[in-house]
Amino acid sequence: MRKIIHCDCDCFYAAVEMRDNPVLNDVPIAIGGSVEQRGVVATCNYPAREFGIHSAMPMAQALKRCPHLIVIRGDMAKYKAVARQVFAIYRDVTELIEPLSLDEAFLDVTNVTLCNGSATRMAEAIRQRVKSEIGITVSAGVAPNKFLAKIASDWRKPDGLFVITPNDIDSFVQQLPVKKIHGVGPRTAEKLAGLGIQTCADLRARSLTELVEQFGRFGHRLFELSHGRDERPVKTHRERKSISTEQTYSQDLPTLEACRQQLPDLLSDLEQRYARLDPAPAVRGLMVKVKFNDFTQTTVEHADPAPSLDQFESLLTIGWLRGERPVRLLGVGYRLAEEVTVQQLSLF
């Protein structure tokens, strides 16, 4: 039985700004791009969330909901420096750390002897050190696996700690809404609701065969998680599966031809990002993302190890024809090949 801690810094970018300028503590703030550049909210503090503001919301919409919202452009260099401080505290507890982002990570403390081996006490010690030494708060979840630990860290946000013991798993999971399961987005949730499935207890009432018939491979995942089972280990090395770049335009691109004219600059930026990978994995596919002026979006992909402008133009055409309306954002990217370990076999 593993002991997993999931640590998640509360409204990270906003928390750093409030730490550095306490005047911001009790007023709604959002970190993100400006309205003029059609920016979106990267994160916001809890006073802003009371107005229904959330990450990925267009900044213009956020300001309509809260006209006195303070918009801060953000400083990624500063946030990365703070993240390094936070992760240094994690490493004082264990080297088995799987970063999910700058502000979020899984820690495997199964064999750690600190705090008499108590994962709960380790999590609380981490939270106290981050608060006292760095000046921001961390919510933590403790559980026997990654699935439950991640859910637990969100259970008492902000600045909370929630523990799911092995004996608690069954009762906790049964009442868990299916929308809390990672991978269950709005469409899957709608399909589940159409089948009368609202909680993991409802999922348990369905057979594995039925769930696979309805949801394919994800049906097997739903079956396992509805019983609180998750055997994924904490991975200290996360393999990059893709690389991409995107651009939001201050004025909508009105036609397909106007979109095509943006491709060379996007592909130049993509190539520069790809060249910085060391080592650079092989390219196994191409992708183009198109977001229209009504905020609907589509992604088109094609498997090909030899990217070219013509191929990206073809994918862009397919994507644009799905909406045939002005475009506010374009993105391009590569799908990357997985690392393969080659071993010389013996002759006999």
DSSP letters, 35-80, are TTTT-BEEEE-HHHHTTT--TT-BHHHHHHH-TTPEEE---HHHHH
The amino acid at residue 279 is P
Angstrom distance (rounded) from CA 91 to CA 107: 9
If we measure between CA atoms, which residue out of 66, 67, 71, 82 comes closest to residue 40? 71
| Catalytic site residue from 104, 124, 301, 313 | 104
Angstrom distance (rounded) from CA 223 to CA 210: 10
If we measure between CA atoms, which residue out of 117, 119, 124 comes closest to residue 138? 124
Binding residues for Mg(2+): 8, 103
The amino acid at residue 134 is I
Angstrom distance (rounded) from CA 174 to CA 178: 10
Q: Which two tokens stand for residue 20?
A: 């550095």
How crowded is residue 298: how many other Cβ atoms within 10 Å of its Cβ?
15
If we measure between CA atoms, which residue out of 188, 262, 190 comes closest to residue 225? 188
Cβ–Cβ under 8 Å, residues 333 and 273: no
Q: Which two tokens stand for residue 330?
A: 């374009």
Find how far residue 149's CA is from the centre of its chain: 15
Angstrom distance (rounded) from CA 348 to CA 343: 15
Q: What are the backbone dihedrals phi and psi of residue 105, each rounded to the nearest 5 degrees, phi first?
A: -160, 155
Angstrom distance (rounded) from CA 296 to CA 126: 41
Binding residues: 8, 103
Is residue 104 flagged as an active site residue? Answer: yes
Angstrom distance (rounded) from CA 287 to CA 232: 28
> DSSP 3-state assignment of 140?
strand
> How many residues are there in the chain?
348
If we measure between CA atoms, which residue out of 87, 91, 123, 107 comes closest to residue 233? 107
What positions carry a catalytic annotation? 104
